[in-house]
Amino acid sequence: YPIYNNTLMYIHKCVLVKFSHFIIPNGKRDLKPQDSRKSQLSSWSFQLAGILQDVSQEELYARVCRRVVLGALDGYNGTLMCFGQTGAGKTYTMTGSTESYKQRGIIPRALQEVFQEMAKRTDYAFSVHLSYLEIYNEILVDLLSSLQDLPQLSPRGMVVVEEPGRGVFIRGLSLHPVHSEEEALNLLFEGEMNRIIGSHALNRNSSRSHCIFTVHIESRSRTLSVAKYVTSKLNLVDLAGSERLGKTGSEGQMFKEAMYINKSLSFLEQAILALADRRRDHVPFRQSKLTHALKDSLGGNCNTVLVANIYGEAAQIEETLSTLRFASRMMCVRTNPAVNEHMDPAQIKKLQKDVHMLKEELSFYNTLVNRPRVMYEPLSEAQLAEIHSQVQRYLKGSLEEISIISIRQVQAVFAQFKLAVSDISGNSIKGMCSVVFIPLQLKSLLSLPSSTPSKAEAFEDFKVGRGSKINRILKENKAVLLERRSLLRQLTEEINDVKREIDCTTATIQQHLTRGGQGTSNVYIYHFFSTYNIMAFFDILHYDFFDILYNGIF
């Protein structure tokens, strides 16, 4: 973002853009170029951003509207506007048809997109408000005023207001908070029921007023330390269609309505002409309520898309050309979209209070540990000069250490060391013979090798150098350990042999006992001699065996 440097324009429900002659249904011709002086041209061409012919509502929204809606969630104002003659399909494009869910228009799809995207952006908290404005015969009407508990304002009480930092808004227009797509659609349907419509020869359900459905979005970070938030407005505009009274046959009240519609659209075109002409300093926005309400959308801080709805029939060629001329002029209008960022005064005061409390806690801690008074404000020029002097004396050897009592001093000291190192490098390159005394710590930092050795190489160097004594002791202990382990293995084998001999003797004695109970004295004699042999064996080996046992070689 911004999406567009100038206004983007699409043609919806378009069949013909460049004419070689007028196409009449069923092959009939009732008008030729030479039949009228106004129709001397037989070919017209217009520069457009795209042509949408026989496309679904879903494709229309994806190609034209989605980027504007997503931009509104990022803080950019957006406007989607339908323009064209009466009966060309503007209301169908904006709100769709109730006959099928697939035929829903731009507004329902935009509301769905907004709430789906809000659910994905979990790092931010969003608030959404809706308003629905109708401009009927130059009178501002709140289509959602019936939902408020407050007494309804007179239409004369609503006025278009412009304030610095807020832009253009309607004073007295109700804003309704919504938390789900369902709530938003209920408000949309309520407003649609309150719109003024009429019937004439070209359209049985003709909108007799201009309608602006606005989605107000506010986004705040869930991080408590962020005081910045963004706001945006998404204007979805359904303009009333221009009418030729000779074709619509409007009379009475509808004739009056058609006069107001054509007048406001004429003022809209004048504003577009003035915006497209860079030599003009004044743009007549205040000529009508419509142009004044759309001031930001037409030439201000907004991403604007115009959808021009036209008939693809030769009988409507004059209105089609008028619509295309308006759209071409709209293409020349440049807007300046930018993110609407704001600072929350309440959040700023809270953060300032937190900072003050933290400084008091640090001061209290410094008092308890008998530290000198530490300043947490930015260093003054005198303090920076003193740090520079201390660093110079430290480098020359006249100062043993630099007293550090705050993080800001640490940063300033490192900055001075960096300058000193760069000066030393520059002097050595230029060949200047200057003697500088650098402390041992700084020399060691400056003499570091360009490449750091690996861990294995560093360990081998350590064993040969400073760790040679430790390495020798480890090797001697390892040799003793291996020797004791070998002796332990030998003793274990001998003990196992003696145990097997005892087991064999015990089995033999058991056999003699089972044969007749004889040989009892021999058993005791053998047991005595066996026990004596084992004791004699341990008497011989007692020193080495128990020495190994108590020294934990097992």
Annotated binding site: 84-91
Quick one: three-class SS letters along 322-358?
Answer: HHHHHHHHHHCCECCCCCEEEECHHHHHHHHHHHHHH
Question: Taking the CB of residue 328, how many other CB atoms lie within 10 A of it?
Answer: 17
Q: Tell the burial category of 291 from Cβ atoms under 10 Å away from its Cβ (0-12, 13-18, 19+).
A: buried
Radius of gyration of the chain measured on its C-alpha atoms:
46
Q: How many secondary structure helices (H) and strands (E) does the chain include?
A: 17, 14
What distances in angstroms separate CA 235 from CA 79, 137, 223, 447, 450, one per listed residue? 5, 20, 29, 66, 61
Q: How far apart are CA 82 and CA 235, in angstroms?
A: 11
How many CA atoms, within 13 angstroms, populate the side-chain half-sphere of residue 519?
12
Q: What is the DSSP letter of 175?
A: -
> Scanning the structure block, which residue is given the tokens 């983007």?
8
| Amino acid at residue number 116 | Q
Ranges assigned E (strand) in 156-301: 159-163, 167-171, 176-178, 197-198, 206-207, 210-221, 228-238
Ranges assigned E (strand) in 249-375: 303-309, 340-343
Q: How far apart are CA 542 and CA 539, in angstroms?
A: 5
Listed as own residue / partner, the contacts of 277-282 with beta carbons closer than 8 Å and 24 or more positions apart are none
Q: Which two tokens stand for residue 329?
A: 């002029």
Q: Which of 219, 444, 255, 231 is CA-nearest to residue 341?
A: 231
Identify the H or E element spanning 52. Answer: strand 50-52
What distances in angstroms separate CA 163 from CA 167, 296, 345, 415, one per listed residue? 5, 12, 19, 47
Annotated binding site for ATP: which residue ranges?
Answer: 84-91
Q: How far apart are CA 105 and CA 95, in angstroms?
A: 4
Interior/surface letters 179-202, b for 16+ CB within 10 angstroms, e for the rest? eebebbbebbeebbeebbebebeb
Torsion of CA 448, 451, 452, 458, to 10 degrees: -100
- The sign of the torsion formed by the CA atoms of 290, 291, 292, 297 equals positive
